[in-house]
Structure 1
Amino acid sequence: MALDPPGDIGTAIGRPSSILLAQQAYVVASRNETTAAAKSRCDRTVEVTFWIADPPAVSFYSFHCSKPPISDSKDADLEVEPHVLAAEGRFVLLRTRFASGDGEYEYFLYKGDVKSPSLECIPLPEDCMLDGVNEFGILPRGDTFLLVGFYDGLMPLDYDLRIYSSEDKTWRTEKLLNPCPDVGIIIPEKVITLGEGVLGMVDFRRGMLVINLLQKSPVARYIPLPEPLPENTQKLQIYSPSASPRRFRDLACSDGVIKFIEMEHRVIVKETREIAPEKPKNPIQNGVLHDSELIWRQTQKVVESKTKMEYLMNGWWATTWTREMESDFWLPGCSIDVDDILVEDSFSKLLSGQSDDANLLFKNLNSAWPILSTDGDDILYLKSLPEFRGSNGWVVAVDLAKKTLKAEERADEAHSLGRYIPSQQIFHPCTLSKHLNITPVDPVHTINLFDTWCKILAN
């Protein structure tokens, strides 16, 4: 059944200069001034609509597909849920797959425009080799764009760039030599724009490749990242050599300055007593064996002897580093400890009402997945959850310079709703809001949208 948009659009004046865009889609037929449509390769009519909120609130997009004529019924043809692959300026790249399609992914490029937003179905390259590309970069060129996918080459010391031009609607492949083979292969986990025609392919463990796509034959430059903090180094060694540090690292660029941040969490480990199993008894000692007792014993679970480990969050601290694009060194920035952050009383009271622990503090939340603002300020966004693998929590904004915290403003009657924030959900900071003709969604309606989205995913 189709769901309506979250009511009144709100009364906020102006649009935020940047937003945090949710990666996962809200699959429903909902429309506003941002709605744009396109035909898929399998003859589906696809609609994409954006719902903008002022950070630290998260902005959403809705996705709907149907056969002509367009209907408002929920489409069951989606084999892979739509998700954002990249966002830059007025452009957002989405990927999905239809059960009735040809088995290949479908890519859609949304272009924001205050008068006439548009949606374009991106054709596949002739060899269809995009399955190995999970990270894309978008290079805006006025109203046109280049779409760049990073693909491991056939040789161990090189890469392939899969480049799509919106001007001639064609793909091409550029070979790229590995500038630092001793480090190994860079596996991008994030792609950022570093300047006009320049992309940064970020591997949060091994470093970043800087690629100028305006060069006739692109050449990559390697930038290593600062070494992990001591506790993080041990965690990466214990968990897995291939584990990603993205949970506690981020990198962004603003006005030609690259900023890097790393968090280190303090965890208290509590060990409970061993549960001693019941010593088996010789049944001959019981004398008469009643059926009821025998049946009761068969239904009892065997108590195993084990030690239970409990992990409690005890705060975190973070440090930043900066560097100019052409420099060969990192400069230390600021350091901040969660104990030094000023938390508003209203948020502290909200925390105590969302947990069995009446004394729950911000420092005890599982705050991770840092996102640096791209507005040139010192704002850090964090996902903060009461439980490590929970889903009800908040996205908060920490001012690293002022050491203050801002959480999304919400009406008192809505406090009990919590927020649906999947622990692995990725948010894409972008400036799409500058190119849309829409007023930011009022906080109360944003909550309703989150709550509805949560129910949809649960079903």
Structure 2
Amino acid sequence: MFIGDAKSLVAPELPEMGPRYPEWIFLSTRAYISDRVNAATVACSNTSDGHPIHVSLFAATPPAAGPKTPSLIRIANPDPCISNFANIGIVCCGADHFAVAALIRDYMTDMYMLSVFYSKTGVWETRLLPLEPSESLCHPAALCFFPSKVIPLEGSLLGWVDLWRGILLCNILSDNPKLHYIPMPKPMPGNEALKGEGDPTCYRGVIGCGDLIKVVEVDYEYNDTEVADTSSYIPEEWTLVTLTWRLDSREWKRGHEVNIGDITVSQDFYGHTDVLPRFCENGTPSLKKMPLGLPTLCEWNNMVYFMCKVNRKDCNGWVVAVDMNSNKLQAVSSFCGATLPGFLTAYYPSLFTKYLNNSGLEIELNAQTFDGLASTDTEDSSIDD
């Protein structure tokens, strides 16, 4: 069922982008259904009913892609069928092949079914895996686990993440894969009562990079302010912390801790009111005026990205970047959330565009940025622990 403004279903106009695409982007979780086609790069396939389907990636100024023709591969569901696509991860298997992995709880055996699709063979292989006992999990069968995301780590290691309960690690290409458990850090004091309740993405985010896992959590200080319009969000005070876990460690290491009152504004925003006109004080954007949620990390810098929306029915909003090293509001970009109103996950950081700057086919991709929100951070290109 569609909820929200019908205008959000219309593909947005394409702004000017530049001659090259950035090393990473925020990729929308929803696609638009449109008759726009880039004949040079459109990927084609057929649905399970035999109907043709085309997929195009659009940008204002076309960068370039590899020399091979883009293609789509329709992958049949494994048995048992995957009902939650948040359970799926993908790893590279050399230059031309990949593996897709899904992890599903088997409540009959209290084990997990690891299903792996190999593009080289075109078939799924499924095996039952017990959850290995650990110091932090004495009774693996008692774990209630509901993953909302899969993170890539070193080699063919994937992590299935339940933002409240923990992370399940598995080397999916191993001849003898094992399932290991990492506990999530304890919730911040204001979030302890929320553990296991509601959508944790409103308060927590996680990324993986090599041998490092990084978590961000926001503790909101809710007030009892009464408003006439209950459909509008109220800006809240908050404190943010980051924590990291090395694969060879046994505990989370605390990183940044920032209160909203500690954050200043980059000089690039002074007098710049057109991006966030309703959230300004004396011509300068103020975080204290912004309803923020969904903290998102990116493995290529030390920013935390917040979603900003005014109304619960809004599909469109802003992405606000806060630099954890300098405690500054660093960048802002407007976005269209398609059919996703309120604070629902509308985008994920992606390295996909990194591979589009090689010589070859032209490709188009949609983006709208201010102050380099979707561009490469040349000064600090990896996450800190």
TM (normalized to structure 1)? 0.65
Matched, 1:431 2:351: yes
Aligned partner (choices 248, 262, 271) of residue 217 of structure 2: 262
Corresponding letter in the other structure for 1:332:
R
SS of alignment partner, residue 163 of structure 1: strand
Residue of structure 2 in register with 1:131 after alignment: 83
The answer to whether the aligner puts 1:25 opposite 2:22 as a matched pair is: no
Aligned to 1:44: 51
* Change in 2 beyond 3 A, CA 1:24/1:441: closer
Are 2:318 and 1:318 equivalent residues in the alignment?
no
Alpha-carbon shift at residue 247 of structure 1 (Å): 1.1
- 5 Å-filtered alignment, 1:289-328, equals 312-328=234-250
How do residues 73-92 of structure 1 correspond to structure 2 at under 5 angstroms? none
Name 2:257's counterpart in structure 1.
335
Deviation of 1:157 (Å): 2.4
- In structure 1, which of residues 398, 403, 407 is the aligned counterpart of residue 322 of structure 2? 398
Unmatched 5+ stretches in structure 2: 1-8, 357-361, 370-385
Post-superposition CA distance 1:211-267 (Å, at most 9, x none) = 111222211111111100011113x16xxx442322111111224221111011122
Which of 183, 206, 209 lines up with 2:165 in the alignment?
206
Q: Is the 8 A contact 2:116 2:124 kept in 1?
A: yes
**How far apart in 2 are the matches of 1:114 and 1:419?**
32
**Distance of aligned partners of 1:432 and 1:271 in 2 relative to their CA distance in 1, 3 Å threshold:** closer
Question: Aligned pairs, how many?
Answer: 337
Structure number with the bigger relative contact order (C-alpha 8 A, sep ≥ 6) is 2
Aligned to 2:42: 35
Task: Pick closer, same or farther for the CA change 1:113–1:42 going to 2, 3 Å.
Answer: farther
Identify, as 1 or 2, the structure richer in helix: 1
Following superposition of structure 1 onto structure 2, how do residues 40-439 of structure 1 map, counting pairs within 5 Å? Answer: 40-52=47-59, 113=66, 115-125=68-78, 127=79, 129-131=81-83, 134-142=86-94, 143-155=96-108, 157-179=110-132, 180=137, 181=140, 184-234=143-193, 236=194, 241-270=196-225, 312-343=234-265, 344-346=269-271, 350-353=275-278, 361-375=286-300, 377-388=301-312, 390-408=314-332, 422=341, 423-436=343-356, 437-438=362-363
The alignment status of 1:12 with 2:18, answered yes or no, reads: yes
Question: What displacement does 1:132 show?
Answer: 5.5
**Cα displacement (A) at 1:366:** 2.1
Distance in 2, Cα, partners of 1:311 & 1:428? 23
- Partner of 1:316, secondary structure, is strand
Distance 2:84 2:364 in 1: 38
CA pair 427-441 structure 1, distance change in 2 beyond 3 A: closer
The AA in structure 2 aligned to 1:374 is: E
Higher mean displacement: 212-221 or 337-346: 337-346
State whether residues 212 and 219 of structure 1, in contact with CA within 8 Å, keep that contact through their aligned partners in structure 2.
Answer: yes
Give the superposition deviation at 1:114: 5.2
Map Cα deviations across residues 284-332 of structure 1 (whole Å, 9 max, x no partner): xxxxxxxxxxxxxxxxxxxxxxxx9998323222101112112111111
Q: Percent identity?
A: 27
Describe the SS at the equivalent of 1:51: coil
Distance 1:309 1:12 in 2: 38
Contact 2:232–2:312 (Cα < 8 Å) also in 1: no
Give the distance between the partners of 2:272 and 2:109, measured in 1 at CA. 51
Instruction: Quickly say closer, same or farther: Cα 1:161–1:11, change in 2 above 3 A.
Output: closer
TM-score normalized by structure 2?
0.77
SS in structure 2 opposite 1:313? coil
- Residues 348, 14 of structure 1: alpha-carbon distance in 2 compared, 3 angstrom cutoff: same
Structure 1, unaligned runs of 5 or more = 55-111, 274-307, 411-416, 445-459
